[in-house]
Amino acid sequence: MIEITAVGGYSEVGKNMTAVKYKDDVVILDMGLHMETYINLEDDDDDDSHSLRDLTNTGAVPDDSVIENLKKKVVAIVPSHGHLDHIGAIPFLAQNYNAPVICTPYTAAVLRAVVADKKIPFSNEIVAMEFGRKMKLSDSITIEFVNVTHSIPHTAIVVIHTPDGKVVYANDFKLDETPTFGEKTDYKKLKELSGRNVKVLILDSLYAGTDRKTPSESVARDMLKEVMLNTDTKGKAVIISTFSSHIARLKSIVEFGKKMKRKIIFMGRSLAKYVAAAESIGLAKFSPSVEICAYKKQMKKPLMKVEKDGRDKYLIVCTGHQGEPTAVLTRLADDKIGFSLQRNDHVIFSCTVIPTETNRKNRASLEKRLLRYGVIIFRDVHESGHASRQDHKELIELLQPEHIIPAHAGHDKTKHMISLAEELGYKRNKTVHEMKDGKTIML
């Protein structure tokens, strides 16, 4: 019998954490932050450390007390990829478990950077495992990673093999046939798993109610190319903000920036962190052709050069696409870091607004301030990294799981995954199960 406990990410978006128990062994899948709450705490300055008490009291980390009786049985913590809603709680909670953290190489590099930032003791071993390998965790549990496309490199569908069947964890993915960076989804491996006793599929349900196939990153690249190369930027500053972890997008931005014959500057701590992680494992190369400024004190000199040499000789890529109050773009809008925006400068948001109350409010406030300068704003130059309903359908039909558990959302979104499963012949509460944080199911 396989026992699955929804620790976080089943009643709302964020705080992803799942415990899978077979006999006397437990594997934890993901250990993430609630990003809206965390952003409200975060200071994107030279120090963003927070105590576990702060994060627990505000609900920024999962409440792992629901698996208190399982903690000594945990044999591994296995994050699926390097986004903070999947790994961000590891520096704070992993100390409660005498277990290694096993993840893909880029996820491991990002996690090491995140741990170093927190400046708190961390004794769990971080083990990088390549795609195509399996790792035996106990006499009855083996794990493997299947490559899948997403908006961050080295995202994995995690497969837990047990004698009673496989648990397949696909929590953040898209099925991109033409990615601009990295490998395509490993359909060969997924087909090998199909029909071979897949006991349960735990599935990202964020866009289960959007009836389409999520467009490829190559579509976003074309959108970006149009805005960067086919608009009049002579004499104008061009400032772009996107997800710091989106290495594929950043590579496209750099490529087009070079075609614009502009020197490129990355500004912001999170940008510096994710780029350094990619470079540390040879995944991508940005420096020295890109100047990288992590901290405010490092930004003053390059921005003085922009003013001196000409604003149309540089491309600024910075943090702040969600309007975070202390991120670089917000500081630019507030004229706080030594560079003044001017009429007709271009500000490109290569992202969408993540639909939370805080983000909507922050972004609206930021745009209002930007527009006071008379800048030209380009919005939504982006395609999502999350699967939509047709992608979900394709994966379910490919794997043919015995059970489905919708994840990564509350009822407002998981209800759409349940309806899709019912369309495919699954039965509510029998073979498709709506979980809530703190609940356990036996399969």
Query: Which pLDDT score, from 0 to 100, does residue 45 have?
Result: 40
How much is the pLDDT for 50? 63
**pLDDT tens digits along 403-443:** 999 999 889 899 999 999 999 999 999 999 999 999 999 99
Looking at every residue in the chain, the average pLDDT score rounds to: 93
Looking at residue 42, its pLDDT comes to 61
- 243: confidence class by pLDDT, cuts 50, 70, 90: very high
- Range with the lowest mean pLDDT among 42-51, 154-163, 181-190, 245-254? 42-51
Q: How far is Cα 157 from Cα 145, in angstroms, rounded to an integer?
A: 6
Which pLDDT tens digit goes with each residue over 6-38?
999 999 988 999 999 999 999 999 999 987 777
> Does 141 score more than 50 pLDDT?
yes
Quick one: pLDDT band at residue 356, thresholds 50, 70, 90? confident
Write down the H helix ranges in 230-317: 247-259, 269-280, 296-309
Residue 203: pLDDT over 50: yes
**Distance set, CA 180 to CA 64, 222, 235, 253 (Å):** 38, 11, 30, 12
> Mean pLDDT over residues 201-213, rounded?
95
Separation of alpha carbons 376 and 373, rounded Å:
9
* Each residue's pLDDT tens digit, 62-119: 999 999 999 999 999 999 999 999 999 999 999 999 999 999 999 999 999 999 887 7
Ordered structural domains, the chain, with CATH: 2-213+385-442 (3.60.15.10), 217-378 (3.40.50.10710)
29 touches 89 (CB < 8 A): no
pLDDT band at 329 (very low <50, low <70, confident <90, very high): very high
Q: Is the pLDDT of residue 355 over 90?
A: no
User: What residues have CB less than 8 Å from 127, skipping those under 6 apart?
Assistant: 100, 101, 102, 103, 108, 135
Percent of the chain whose pLDDT exceeds 70: 97
Decide if pLDDT at 323 tops 50: yes
Long-range CB contact pairs, 298-304, < 8 A, 24+: 299/267, 299/328, 299/337, 299/338, 300/337, 300/338, 302/265, 303/337, 303/338, 303/339, 304/338
pLDDT at residue 46 above 60? no
Say which DSSP state 144 is in: E
Q: pTM, whole model, 2 decimals?
A: 0.93
| Amino acid type, 31 | M
Which residues does residue 316 pair with via DSSP β-bridges, in sequence order? Answer: 239, 265
Does position 287 have pLDDT exceeding 90, yes or no? no
Mean per-residue pLDDT, 259-287: 95
166 contacts 196 by C-beta, under 8 angstroms: yes
CA-closest candidate to residue 380, choices 337, 340, 348: 348
Q: Above pLDDT 90, what percent of the chain?
A: 85
- Helix or strand run (H / E) with residue 423: helix 411-423
Span 170-188, average pLDDT: 96
Q: What is the pLDDT of residue 44?
A: 40
